[in-house]
Amino acid sequence: MLSLFTGIISCTSQKRSSSAVATESRSKPRSSTSSESPVFLENISINAGKSSGTSRKPGGTRSTGSESTGTGKNVELSGSLQFKYAILLNVPVEEVTDTKMVETIESWYGTRYRFGGSDRNGIDCSAFAQTFIAAVYNISLPRTSIDQYHQSKRVHKSDLQEGDLVFFATRGRGSSRVSHVGVYLRNNKFVHAATSGGVMISDLNEMYYAQHFVGGGRVK
């Protein structure tokens, strides 16, 4: 696959995504008959406890019970993340099964945008795409969004699959030069490092992204 490159990203200013995390639950804590208390993740209230679902490990195997996940988070937290990302992706909770993908997003979620950055002190869009694709799919990408565009296969918007890249031209009206990149998840949602909100999940159908969408790319 492609080797890692170094360089400076060409991301430009963007409007803040309206696909914010669901508003804070206002339900009251459980009654005194329960020993469990709510856990709040990104303003989503989730009661702590064992997950009844399964999680997919890299390679397609499934695990149950009290086995730890790859990042050291236990099954209880994985169950909470499963619920959280079902809300963010607007899909049934049982469809959120890729533990590696979810935990990778979670580990970066909210990291601030920094032009030229590539770590948790600040990261730009192409560095995040590069890091995410390497962590989840073990595939190397070049460093800049324009190089990522040229070295991926064009994919129509209606044919996008999880792990495809999505490219935008954000340098002003009439510009067609790629200057921003994200990673497609599902249900028109993609994860990216935005200048306004850092690492976040947005929707391709939002007006700003729909107007500036250039195309999809599948890593060769």
Chain segment 61-102, per-residue pLDDT in tens = 333 333 333 444 444 446 888 999 999 999 999 999 898 999
DSSP at 25? P
pLDDT value of residue 78:
63
**pLDDT at position 80:** 87
Assign domain 121-219 to a CATH class.
alpha beta
* Residue (of 83, 65, 61) closest to 74 by Cα position: 65
Q: What share of the chain is helix, strand, coil (3-state, %, to 5)?
A: 25, 25, 50
What pLDDT is stored for residue 173 in this prediction?
61
> With bands split at pLDDT 50, 70 and 90, how would you rate the model's confidence at 37?
very low
- 156 touches 192 (CB < 8 A): no
Indicate the pLDDT class of residue 205, thresholds 50, 70 and 90: very high
Global model pTM greater than 0.85? no
The pLDDT assigned to 32 comes to: 40
pLDDT reported for residue 171? 79
Mean pLDDT of 126-138: 97
Question: Which token pair is 131?
Answer: 């890091």
**CA-to-CA distance for 204 and 38, rounded, in angstroms?**
32
CB–CB of 184/218 below 8 Å?
no
Asked if pLDDT for residue 51 goes beyond 80, the answer is no
| Beta-strand runs (E) in the chain | 38-41, 44-47, 55-56, 62-63, 118-119, 122-123, 152-155, 165-168, 180-186, 189-194, 198-203, 213-219
Asked if pLDDT for residue 48 goes beyond 90, the answer is no
Catalytic annotation, residues: 125, 180, 192
pLDDT at 174: 56
Please say if the pLDDT value at position 31 is more than 90.
Answer: no
Above 90 in pLDDT, residue 144? Answer: yes
Tell whether the model's pLDDT for residue 41 goes beyond 70: no
CA distance 130 to 219: 11
What pLDDT was estimated at residue 175?
61
Mean of the pLDDT values across residues 165-172? Answer: 90
What was the pLDDT predicted at 105? 97
Percent of the chain with pLDDT over 70: 63
State the average pLDDT for the chain.
75
DSSP string of 92-138, one letter each residue: -GGG--BHHHHHHHHHHTTPPB-TT-EETTEE-HHHHHHHHHHHHH-
- Reading the block at residue 217, the tokens are 């790319």
Q: Are 191 and 201 in contact (CB under 8 A)?
A: yes
Domain ranges of the chain: 38-107, 121-219
